[in-house]
Amino acid sequence: ASKKFSKRLVSTAKNIWDAGFTRNLLVKDQSGDKILSLPLTIVVIGSVLAPPVAVIGFFVALLAHCFLTVEKK
């Protein structure tokens, strides 16, 4: 039973990892021009490893009147 559970866990983790690379976090300016595009998985990993940097980046984007969107590739 433990082997079956660990195989399912690894399979689920791989699916989540792959799904994160099929979605991008886009930063767009007021006119809708794309400023930055990053895979969602990279954004999540960066947010976990460096939360203060993520918070500062979020507020800078808001103060610059940018829009944050998630799009599927």
**Could you tell me if 43 and 25 are in contact, meaning their C-beta atoms sit under 8 angstroms apart?**
yes
Q: Is residue 30 within 8 Å of residue 65, measured between CB atoms?
A: yes
Q: Which residue has the tokens 């794309």?
A: 34
Cβ partners under 8 Å of residue 24, min gap 6 = 37, 38, 39, 40, 70, 71, 73
Q: Hey, which bits of 1-73 come out as E strands? A: 23-28, 34-39, 67-72
Residue 31: per-residue pLDDT = 93
Q: What is the pLDDT of residues 36-57, one digit of tens each?
A: 999 988 888 888 899 999 899 8
> Residues 4-29: what's their mean pLDDT?
86
Mean pLDDT of all residues in the chain?
88
Two structure tokens written together for 25: 């976090």
pTM of the model: 0.68
